[in-house]
Every structure is written in C-alpha cells, then in structure tokens.
Amino acid sequence: MNEQLRFADSGEAADLAAFLGRLVHYDRAAAVRHQAGGGALAVFGRPPSFEVLAVRTVRLAAPVQVPLDLTVSAGELLEHVDEASASVAVPGAVTGPPWTGLLPPRGGWQQVAGLPGPEEMRAAVAAAVAEFRARDEALPPQHRTRSERDRIGRDIWSRTLGDTELPLRAVHAAQSLGFLRPVRSAVPAGGPAPDAPAPVALLAAGSWLRLRTPYGSVAMRRPGASGGLGALQVRPL
C-alpha cells in the first residue's frame, strides 16, 4: 500500500465507496485516477458507453503533506475503503488507459445559462430511455442487431439538453452514477425530512463542458472538439 488517507467523516467514505461501486458495476476492470491535494481527494473514472469522465471529490480529515496523483484499480480501491474508520489504504498503481492522461482543466470554469432543473433533467433521461426501448421493440427481428441499436442510441443520446450544448448522454451518466439524486433537507420539527432538488450547474472551460452537482460531476469535450475522449458505443441502462 502506498498511503493511508483519512476522510473528514464516515459519510465521505460511504459516498466514495458508492461511486466506486457504480463504476465497477459498469466495468469490473475499471481504473480510476485519483489526486489528493490540500484537504480533498478527487477521483476520476470513465464509465463505459457514456463518453464522459465522472469526478467525485471527497473531503479529507487533514491536508495531505505530499500531493498524491496515480492511477489504480477501482475495484481494489473500493475493497480498501473502510467506512468504520473513515479511511482508505491506497493500492499500488496500475498502467492506466489513455483517458487518464486527458483530464479536465482545474480552473477557468464559467457557468453557462440555459440548464433545466434536476427534475426536468431526470424526466428527459426517462423519456429518452423510454424512446430507446420503444424504437428497439419496433425493429423487425432481422434488424435487431447491435449496430442498429447503437445507431438508435447515438441518435437519442447525442441530442442536446434544452438550449445548451450538453448531450443527453452526459445527463444520463450523471443520473446513472447517482449524481442527480435529491438532496436531503434538514428534518423539520414534527415531520420527516423533505427531499429538495439538488442544485446543479453547467460550466464551460475551453473545449470542455462540466455538469456539476453536490454529489459529483461529469465532464466531456464539447461536441466537435478535437482530442476528445474517443468514440464509445452508446446504450441505455
């Protein structure tokens, strides 16, 4: 093990474990790049099919003395998250896939107008999934092939959200990774805690777009930008 990192509390450890678990669900051989600096740990992953980078930042109990930046197995990192002690033993580095060398910029982000609210985004994803299923079921048996399904998926998930440049696949990724779930409000006297919509924002920096939520972010190169993350097949959950 290279280093032991301690989180600000057990909730931070649980959130990181949930994020890693979702990445491993999509790809059991998933790798993540993680960077620890100051009082935070940022973990970057690339879930298959979405053509985005997913980013989860967790608070550390104390600033790290020496910045940490390496690529590790997502599964191994998940195995070493200890929620009871709010810590993680960082596993050894692995040879990362090409995307680990292409991370979004650290600064220079500007908020972009036109992003619908979380409820509208969740509804857009649900409508897109329903459309995919309907079009898939309508295919004649001889046309129900992987290439035809990929074509339908590209048509649906490359559509942009509202008046923004953000493709629906980025919103689908945020929803699938648990980034668009409601934020639990404080418990009022005499009643259960209501669910409040999670505040989200669309940011841009150069050729990058980033959908930021309280639970994590998804980042991607703008459509048509050179040096992107590479083409992946697109399919719904």
pTM value?
0.85
- Fold annotation for 3-101: Proliferating Cell Nuclear Antigen (3.70.10)
Residue 164 main-chain phi, psi, to 5 deg = -105, 175
What's the mean pLDDT in 88-93? 94
In a 3-state reduction of DSSP, which class is residue 188? coil
| Cα→Cα distances 128→13, 30, 131, 144, 159, Å | 33, 26, 5, 19, 10
For residue range 187-224, list pLDDT tens digits in order: 444 444 444 445 899 999 999 999 999 999 999 998 77
161, 127 contact by CB (below 8 A): no
Range in 102-111, 159-168, 187-196 the model is least confident about: 187-196
User: What distance in Å separates the CA atoms of residue 104 and residue 110, rounded to the nearest whole number?
Assistant: 13
Rounded to an integer, the average pLDDT of 139-167 is: 93
Q: Pick the more confident residue, 225 or 219.
A: 219
* Residue 21 predicted with pLDDT over 70: yes
Q: What percent of the chain shows pLDDT beyond 90?
A: 77
Q: Is the pLDDT of residue 131 over 90?
A: yes
pLDDT of 183 reads 63
36 has pLDDT over 60: yes
Who contacts 21 (Cβ-Cβ below 8 Å, separation ≥6)? 78
- Report the alpha-carbon distance of residue 12 to residue 168 in Å, rounded: 28
How far from chain centre, in Å, is Cα 10? Answer: 21
Instruction: Say what the pLDDT of residue 182 is.
Output: 75
Q: Where in the chain is the domain with CATH 3.70.10.10?
A: 3-101
Its sign, for the CA torsion 74, 198, 161, 165, is negative
Of residues 94 and 3, the one with the higher pLDDT is: 94
| Pair 111, 199: CB distance under 8 Å | no
pLDDT at position 67 over 60? yes
The answer to whether the beta carbons of residues 91 and 72 sit under 8 Å apart is yes
Return the pLDDT at 178: 92
